[in-house]
Structure 1
Amino acid sequence: MKGIIIAGGAGTRLRPLTYTRPKPLIPVVNRPFLEYQVALLKRHGIDEIIFCTNYMSEQIASHFGDGSRFGVKMQFVNEETPLGTAGAIKNAQTVAGRETLVVLNGDILTDFDLSSIIAFHQSKNALVTLTLKDVPSPSPYGVIVTDDDGRVREFREPSEAQKKALATNPHIETTGVDYINAGIYIMEPEALDAIPTGRPVSIERETYPQFLADGKPIFAVARRGFWLDIGRPEQYRQATQAILSRDIAVEVAGEWTALGYWAMENVQVDPTAHIAPTVHLGAGSKIGPGVSLSGKTVIGPGCCIKANATLTDCILQEGVIVGQGAQLSGVILDDGCHVEAETVVTVPSVLASGTVLRKGTRIE
């Protein structure tokens, strides 16, 4: 059995964070996102993993290498042009061989029990098994309907009117629970045989509905646990918060210190600084006197937070400088940003790599 991670998306909804890196390598609590997926597969006995890549593929290959550093074997299959979800899997068929595949969309943070999903798939002699996540109904997602045995009977897409209503009123009253595609599949090699080559193919809109129309054994099983698509800045924040709150069963980078917060190696913290237990300090970061770090805040590697600065629910990537007395809340700062002294930002914001906020800037 092998794993496939679909990691070719450009991450346009996460710009500007994806201008300089592929979405699957965005740090989440000072750990590249894909490492969480690799760890999940390994935890459930999958030690051969294929990455389907496209956008900035060389960065993914460079980070993981042959996989030995992570205790797995890795291979990379690059798409010259985007092929869609099914097209990407088909493109990996030559290295996947004739084994059962565990497929993950590359932007899903989860702790689902993959072993139980695999066991369900095998018990049904399924061609494909989809994993389902329960969401409040109505939802903007496509809904999957199964019979009592778990066999898929319908793929039901929301109407355009429903999508519009949910987009304009996200707090619309819910009436129950729907089950949506969680982006985790168990696939037999014969399923890949049926995917056409040489063109983009959507697994959700084309492949699976065709399998259903042809009467092929497609099953689905719902699982409880943490699940989140990190495709937008707000969801990226939610992923950070979930890990720091220990709402998801994943390994946190670094160590829990005697002073009561997470930290990686070579951190320098002034004894007068106040750091909440839901804060994570990256390698080599420096925290000055009188600094206050609260909420779910992540300080990236090599960052410098100067005297009396206050940060709440902020995410800083590598090499960010925050000046004396600055006050930041809900801000995401990409690599190399410089926030000068006495700056105040209280509006949730995402600042591109290298952005400079001059002394005394106020964004409220």
Structure 2
Amino acid sequence: MKALVLSGGAGTRLRPITHTSAKQLVPVANRAVLFYGLESLAAAGITDVGMIVGDTAAEIQEAVGDGSKFGLDITYIPQEQPLGLAHAVLIAQDYLGDDDFVMYLGDNFIVGGITDLVDEFRGNRPDAQILLTRVPDPRSFGVAELGPEGQVIGLEEKPERPRSDLALVGVYLFTPRIHEAVRSIEPSGRGELEITHALQHLIDSRADVRSTVIKGYWKDTGNVTDMLEVNRRVLETLDRRIDGETDERSETIGRVVLEEGARIVNSRVVGPVVIGAGTLVSDSYVGPFTSVAENCRITDSELEFSIVLRDSSIRGVGRIEASLIGRHVEVTPAPSVPRAHRLVLGDHSKVQIHS
């Protein structure tokens, strides 16, 4: 059994972070979201992985390499434009051959992995198996309609009037029968080959399409709110580990991970928190559910429920919370007189200002 991991896409909902970084590499608890998915595949006994890459291919390849550090053998498959999930299957057919495969969206996060799901598929081997989860507003997802005995009878992509609250999670399992289906469908109104249309083609052809409604935690980490929530959930699983240095005037409370080379000076850190190698926290407070990456500087500030990417500095700005701060960012106080906001923002930024 192989895997097809989708790591293309523009990540527009995470701009401006994704103007300069692949959305699958934005870190959760100081590790790229993509890495958690790759580890889930390896844990399920899958070693051969085809990875769909787009404009951020070079960055993805640098981070993942040949896959050996995950126990995987990675083959990169370029996709010139993000033309839909079914298009990714279409261009990967030569790689996938006649093997069954898992398709895994690289920006999705599933607590507990997918081993049980893969074992179930291997044992029963339906033509396709999909994961579903109940969501409050399914209009932004592919939506499944189930029959009275739980069978999949219909699928829609981002419907205006959903027929259920069951959204497709970004993990699918297929036999080679899916290849005929993706060749048979036409682009949607969005100009994409939709995987929901390919699945519907299987259903209409009387193929065996099954579903599993997951009860565990799942998130599509496509926006800042979901990134912070996933970060919180992962940090809650950490064990305390202090490999860096703290001075006698500092206090670390609870599940704090301080990587080797990190330093805490005259500061208070309350977990769950992870602080990366080479980072200095001085005269500051770092509160729960915060990840600070490597080589950052947090000085005379308060930080809580946030993600700070590498090589950034926060100096003398009071309290920051519920924030995602990119790489090589400098956050400093504004001049006190005249009172004004001074901003340098990337395209498609969103800013909240307390006037």
TM-score, with length taken from structure 2: 0.83
Cα–Cα, structure 1 residues 100 and 134, in superposed 2: closer, same or farther, change >3 Å? same
1:291-341 Cα distance to aligned partner (Å, 9 max, x none): 1011311112110111x3111222211111111353322222111111124
**CA separation of 1:156 and 1:205: change in aligned 2, threshold 3 A:** closer
Cα distance in 1 for partners of 2:334, 2:7 equals 40
- Structure 1 114/298 Cα, relative in aligned 2: closer, same or farther at 3 Å? closer
Percent same amino acid at aligned positions? 23
Check the 8 A contact 2:84/2:195 in 1, yes or no.
no
The yes-or-no answer on 1:319 pairing with 2:304 is: no
CA contact (8 A) 1:100 1:186 kept: yes
Unaligned runs of 5+ in 2: 244-251, 337-342
Q: Say if 1:352 and 1:281 are closer, same or farther in 2 by CA, change over 3 A.
A: farther
Q: 1:77 and 2:77 equivalent? A: yes
Alignment RMSD (CA, Å): 3.1
> Contact 1:24–1:33 at 8 Å: present in 2 too?
yes
* Cα separation, 2, equivalents of 1:350 and 1:257: 36
Give the Å deviation of 1:146: 2.8
Of the three residues 328, 332, 335, the one matched with 1:340 is 332
2:199 is the alignment partner of 1:214: no
Provide the TM-score with structure 1 as the length reference: 0.81
Give the superposition deviation at 1:135: 2.7
* Contiguous gaps of at least 5 residues in structure 1: 164-176, 247-251, 356-361
Q: Does 1:262 align with 2:262?
A: no
1:19 matched to 2:19: yes
What do residues 11-58 of structure 1 show as CA deviations (whole Å, max 9, x unaligned)? 011100101111111122211111010111111111221111112111
Deviations 1:179-210 (A, max 9, x none): 22112111112212432299765333421122
Give, in angstroms, the shift of residue 99 of structure 1. Answer: 1.3
Asked if the contact 2:156–2:196 (Cα under 8 Å) also holds between the matched residues in 1, the reply is no
Q: 2:291 is matched with which residue?
A: 298
In structure 2, do the counterparts of structure 1 residues 350 and 87 end up closer, same or farther at CA, with 3 Å as the change threshold?
farther
Report the CA distance between 1:124 and its aligned residue.
Answer: 4.0
Structure 2 match to 1:117: 117
4+ runs deviating over 6 angstroms = 197-200
Match of 2:215 in 1: 224
CA contact (8 A) 2:21 2:56 kept: yes
Matches within 5 A, 1:1-364: 1-136=1-136, 141-147=141-147, 150-155=150-155, 160=160, 162=161, 178-196=165-183, 201-246=192-237, 256-257=241-242, 259=252, 260=254, 261-270=256-265, 272-289=266-283, 291-306=284-299, 308-324=300-316, 326-341=318-333, 363=354
- Aligned-partner residue type, residue 332 of structure 1: L
Shift of 1:6: 1.0
1:358 counterpart residue number: none
Aligned CA distance change for structure 1 residues 156 and 86 (closer, same or farther; 3 Å): closer
